Structure 1
Amino acid sequence: MARFGSRSGGILNFGDFRGFTRDLVLWNLGAYFLLALLGLASPHGYAVVFDALALTPGLFLHGWIWQIATYPFLHAGILNTAFELLSLWFLGSFLESNHGARWLMEIFAVSALGAGIAAILMALALHAPVTVIGCWGAIFGLLIAFGVLYADTEFMMFPLPMLIKAKYLVAVYMLIALAMLFSTDKVFAFSQLGGALFGYFYIRFAPRRGITTAGSKQYFDWRNRYYRWKRKQAAKKFQVYMKKQNRDVNFDSEGRYVDPDKDPNDRSRWN
């Protein structure tokens, strides 16, 4: 596994375990141990919860739509889970330190969504009764972001004492996923490629500061436009009323009252 984080002596070291990356890892780890304990206490209860939260294309298409959001937090096997969460920590900490927690949250969610959609499509095409779990699809979205945005960044491949550029590591992972399409793990491999594709779409087409930030800005822009329109409408009605009282009042183009006793160039008047 690669080592990511702050650069020291030409090698990228482990990133800080904090922020949304830490929360994401802990959520996944907590879900793993909770289900493990439930399996020991009640195998039947474990089966019910697992079937409800894992992504099963047939159930998803019959209304179990929450599975597209819950399946990344289910994991099988301690070694596979450890490798997933270490990968998530390494990639997430690096990307979060450069783009922020909200950006990381969005690309993780978008990539997980893309991986889930890809898995559903492949399962339907193959008529395969499969169940998809794990966050590898989301991790592939983070991986493609790392490879595209920091293509020439070098880091050490553990345990091999060698440096490799990010773009080459991404190419290796993509080739492995493509090769897996010719194996029995077609759905799993296609979900990884779907996560990578949606991650790529996110970094190419999403606003620089993230979708939610841009959406919030757009919302406040439209809200302010609405308030300005309401103010101008109120100003017009007030002008009509004052004319009936044989008095003239003036408002500017934004619907703000213009005091005739003040200099029109005075910017200190109330807005």
Structure 2
Amino acid sequence: MPPRRQYRTPNATQGMTLSLPPFTRGVIWLLAINLGIYLILRLFSLSEPTKWIVAGVFKLLALHPHDAVHGAVWQLVTYAFIHWDTLNIIFVLLGIWFIGSFLESAWGTKRFLIFYLTCAAAGGLGSVALTYALRASGDANLFFTGANGAILGLLVAIGVLWADVEFMMIPFPFMVRAKYVVAIAVVVDLVYLFREGGLVYLGEFGGLLYALVYVKLMDRSPGRKRAPGVYIGRGLSDKAFEPPAKKPSLLARWRDSYYRWKRRRAAR
């Protein structure tokens, strides 16, 4: 869902065009780690002698609520890098690329990565809390994987701070505002979660709630510069944002035209 971008050339007026978002540094790291782990797990699962490695990775890095409460706190973050479902990893990779590059360009790499990881951790905490609330912690087969909590957090950030930025709903050729993309993603995620296992998997919405609190508090911070609303640039390497120039009012244009006429007349 690439955002609508503003494209400027030296000899042209501002106009709107569609382009893919840039591959920023933090986004590249996240894409490489998520995709790399997914491919390695899939590859090792093809051979019987190496399947124990897959089981070991899931045991060590997936989020097991009982283990996390009893010392395996790293699982609150590492679970977000473990994926098995093909559709889920595609959703995660696209979300990191399209939404993550937008946020990283506006915030910087360090702040973006911290936000991503804390959203994932909040989703993990929500999953653990809901597991115990539903008294399902005794289920040894219950564990959580995937970066859905982190992706929901990214969506909330862009939906709140850049609500009117437009995205293309790939593969459909029409534009949708960011605030509506968030609603669509939440509905799709709810359907997917209930199809997979039900109420206990709603814990990943902890990432969404954390992101909402984060951006609301950030929005009220004194001296914070208001983030712009659109991309501007010429290629995939663009990393800067700039708000679109406001069109002057009719009265202002008339006044400017009058002053230009007076200057030309005085120059004769």
CA RMSD of aligned residues (A): 2.3
- The alignment's TM-score, normalised by the length of structure 1, stands at 0.69
SS in 2 for 1:6: strand
1:27 paired to 2:33: yes
Q: TM-score, normalised by structure 2?
A: 0.70
Q: How much identity, in percent, do the aligned residues show?
A: 37
Aligned 1:110-121 pairs, distance under 5 A: 110-121=118-129
Deviation (angstroms), 1:165 = 0.8
- CA 1:56 to 1:196, structure 2 compared with 1: closer, same or farther past 3 Å? same
SS in 1 for 2:2: coil
Change (3 A) 1:14 1:52: same
* Letter paired with 1:30: G
Structure with more relative contact order (C-alpha pairs < 8 Å, separation 6 or more): 2
Does the aligned pair in 2 maintain the 1:5–1:90 contact within 8 Å? no
Where structure 1 has 5 or more consecutive residues not aligned to the other structure, the ranges are 210-271
Shift of 1:198: 0.8
Q: CA deviation at 1:159?
A: 1.7
Question: What amino acid is aligned across from residue 17 of structure 1 in structure 2?
Answer: F
Indicate if the aligned counterparts of 1:71 and 1:134 stay in contact, CA closer than 8 A.
Answer: yes
Q: 1:49 to 1:155 in 2, by over 3 A?
A: closer
Aligned to 2:251: none
Q: Which amino acid aligns with 1:3?
A: P
2:159–2:179 CA contact under 8 A, matched in 1: yes
Equivalent pair of 1:10/1:154 in contact (CA under 8 Å):
no
Q: Structure 1: how far apart are the matches of 2:121 and 2:6?
A: 32
Change (3 A) 1:92 1:101: same
Partner Cα distance (2:146, 2:66) in 1: 18
Bigger radius of gyration, 1 or 2?
1
Stretches of structure 2 that go unaligned for 5 or more consecutive residues are 8-14, 226-268
Letter in 1 for 2:167: F
What is the match of residue 94 of structure 1? 102
Q: Map residues 91-170 of structure 1 onto 2, 5 A cutoff.
A: 91-128=99-136, 129=139, 130-170=142-182
- Higher mean C-alpha deviation, range 155-164 or range 36-45: 36-45
Listed one character per residue, the Cα deviations across residues 97-141 of structure 1 (whole Å, up to 9, x for unaligned) are 111111211110111011001111111122233211011100100
Summarize the Cα distance change of 1:76–1:180 in structure 2 as closer, same or farther, 3 Å threshold.
closer
Query: Which residue type is aligned with residue 108 of structure 1?
Result: Y
Contact 1:112–1:195 under 8 Å retained in 2: yes
Kept in 2, the 8 Å contact 1:180–1:189? The answer is: no
**Cα pair 1:53 1:70 within 8 Å, conserved:** yes
* Aligned-partner SS, 2:27: helix
Change (3 A) 1:140 1:12: farther
**Structure 1 residue 205 corresponds to structure 2 residue 217:** yes
* Runs of at least 4 residues off by over 6 Å: 179-183
User: Matches of 1:11 and 1:145 in 2, distance apart?
Assistant: 24
Q: How much has 1:66 moved relative to structure 2?
A: 1.2
- The amino acid across from 1:204 in the alignment is K
Q: Displacement, 1:182?
A: 6.6
My pick for the range that moved more, 197-206 or 128-137, is: 197-206
- The DSSP-based 3-state class of the residue aligned with 2:20 is coil
Count the aligned residue pairs: 207
Corresponding residue number in structure 1 for 2:2: 3
CA distance in 1, matches of 2:126, 2:20: 31
Question: For 1:159 and 1:33, how far apart are their aligned partners in 2?
Answer: 25
The 1:13/1:127 distance shift into structure 2, 3 A limit, reads farther
Q: How far apart are the structure 2 equivalents of 1:153 and 1:118? A: 29
Instruction: Return the letter of the residue paired with 1:33.
Output: L
Q: Which shifted more, 7-16 or 69-78?
A: 7-16
For the residue of structure 1 that corresponds to 2:176, the secondary structure is strand
1:188 aligns with 2:201: yes
1:5 to partner: Cα distance: 6.7
- Cα deviation for residue 162 of structure 1 reads 1.7
Distance (whole Å) between structure 2 residues aligned to residue 11 and residue 140 of structure 1: 27
Match of 1:212 in 2: none
Q: Secondary structure at the match of 2:59?
A: helix
